[in-house]
Structure 1
Amino acid sequence: MNRTRREFLTAAGAGGTALLAGCQAEPLDEGTDTPADAGTEPTGTTTGTPEGADTLVVATYPPFVDAPSTSPGAWLKEEFESEFDATLVYQTPDSELNYYLERAIQGVEFEADVYVGLDTGQLIDADGRQGEGELTDPLFAEAGDLEGTDRLREGLQFDPRNRAVPFDTGYVSLVWNATMDDGEFAAPETFEGLTEPEYEGDLIAQNPTSAATGEAFMLHTVKQYGPDGFLDYWDRLRENGVTVLGSWTDAYSAYESEEAPMVVSYSTDQVYAAMEDQDLQKHQVRFLNDQGYANPEGMARFADSDAPGLAEEFMSFMLRPEVQAGIAQRNVAFPAIDDAPLPEDYSQYAMEPPEPVTFTYDELQGNVDEWTDQWARRFAGG
Structure 2
Amino acid sequence: MKRREYLTSVGVGAVGLATAGCLQVENSGGGDTTTSETTSGDGTTTATTGGTTSQSSGPLRVATYDSFFGDEGTAGDWLKTAWEAEHDTEVRFTAPSNGVNEFIQRKKQGVDIDADLFVGLNTGELVRVDENLPNATLFDDLAGDVANAGDIKDSLRIDPQNRALPYDTGYISLVYDGTKVENPGTFEALASDAYRGDLLAQNAQTSDPGRAFLLWTIHEFGEDGYLDYWDTLVDNDVRVLDDWQPAYDAFLAGERPIVVSYSTDQVYYNGEDEIPRHQVGFLNDEGYANPEAFARFADTDKPDIAAQFAEFMLTDEAQRNIAVNNVQFPATTTATLPEEYAKYAYEPPEPVTFTYDELAGNVGEWTEAWAQQIASN
Q: Give the alignment's TM-score, normalised by structure 1.
A: 0.87
The equivalent residue for 1:65 is: 69
Amino acid of the structure 1 residue aligned with 2:123:
T
Cα separation, partners in 2 of 1:17 and 1:151, compared to 1, 3 Å: closer
Q: Is the 8 A contact 1:54 1:85 kept in 2?
A: no
How far off its partner does 1:93 sit? 1.8
Detail structure 1 runs of 4+ shifted over 4 Å in the superposition. Answer: 15-18
Cα separation, partners in 2 of 1:271 and 1:16, compared to 1, 3 Å: closer
The equivalent residue for 2:95 is: 92
The equivalent residue for 1:227 is: 223
1:282 lines up with 2:277 in the alignment: yes
> Pairwise CA RMSD of aligned residues?
2.4
Amino acid of the structure 2 residue aligned with 1:209:
Q
Q: Is the 8 A contact 2:143 2:149 kept in 1?
A: no
The equivalent residue for 1:53 is: 57
The equivalent residue for 1:202 is: 198
Q: Deviations over 1:78-120 (max 9, x none)?
A: 0011111110000112211112222222111132100010111
Measured in 2, the distance between the counterparts of 1:329 and 1:340 equals 12
1:191 lines up with 2:190 in the alignment: no
What are structure 1's unaligned runs of at least 5 residues?
19-26, 39-49
Measured in 2, the distance between the counterparts of 1:266 and 1:186 equals 17
How far off its partner does 1:147 sit? 1.4
The equivalent residue for 1:261 is: 257
The equivalent residue for 1:41 is: none
How far off its partner does 1:154 sit? 2.3
1:80 lines up with 2:83 in the alignment: yes
Measured in 1, the distance between the counterparts of 2:375 and 2:242 equals 12
Residues 104-113 or 284-293, more deviating: 104-113
Q: Is the 8 A contact 1:14 1:246 kept in 2?
A: yes
Within a 5 Å distance, the mapping from 1:96-115 to structure 2 comes to 96-115=99-118
How far off its partner does 1:150 sit? 1.5
How far off its partner does 1:7 sit? 4.9
Measured in 1, the distance between the counterparts of 2:30 and 2:367 equals 16
Query: Which of residues 342, 348, 351 in structure 2 aligns to 1:353?
Result: 348
Q: Is the 8 A contact 2:203 2:375 kept in 1?
A: no
Q: Is the 8 A contact 1:267 1:285 kept in 2?
A: yes
Measured in 1, the distance between the counterparts of 2:30 and 2:169 equals 28
Measured in 1, the distance between the counterparts of 2:205 and 2:213 equals 11
Cα separation, partners in 2 of 1:214 and 1:332, compared to 1, 3 Å: same
Cα separation, partners in 2 of 1:255 and 1:6, compared to 1, 3 Å: farther
Within a 5 Å distance, the mapping from 1:271-310 to structure 2 comes to 271-274=267-270, 279-310=274-305
Amino acid of the structure 2 residue aligned with 1:201:
G
Q: Deviations over 1:134-186 (max 9, x none)?
A: xx530001014211112111211110011000100000000001123xxxx21
Q: Is the 8 A contact 2:204 2:210 kept in 1?
A: yes
How far off its partner does 1:198 sit? 1.3
The equivalent residue for 2:6 is: none
The equivalent residue for 2:49 is: 36
Measured in 2, the distance between the counterparts of 1:61 and 1:36 equals 17
SS in 2 for 1:175: strand
Q: Deviations over 1:281-317 (max 9, x none)?
A: 1111001000000000100000011211000000000
Q: Is the 8 A contact 1:70 1:331 kept in 2?
A: no
The equivalent residue for 1:336 is: 331
Amino acid of the structure 1 residue aligned with 2:341:
Y
Amino acid of the structure 2 residue aligned with 1:259:
E
The equivalent residue for 1:21 is: none
How far off its partner does 1:266 sit? 0.6
Q: Is the 8 A contact 2:23 2:375 kept in 1?
A: no
How far off its partner does 1:330 sit? 0.4
Q: Is the 8 A contact 2:151 2:333 kept in 1?
A: yes
How far off its partner does 1:341 sit? 2.2
Q: Is the 8 A contact 1:28 1:99 kept in 2?
A: no
What are structure 2's unaligned runs of at least 5 residues?
1-17, 32-39
Matched length: 350
How far off its partner does 1:251 sit? 0.7
Q: Is the 8 A contact 2:104 2:133 kept in 1?
A: no
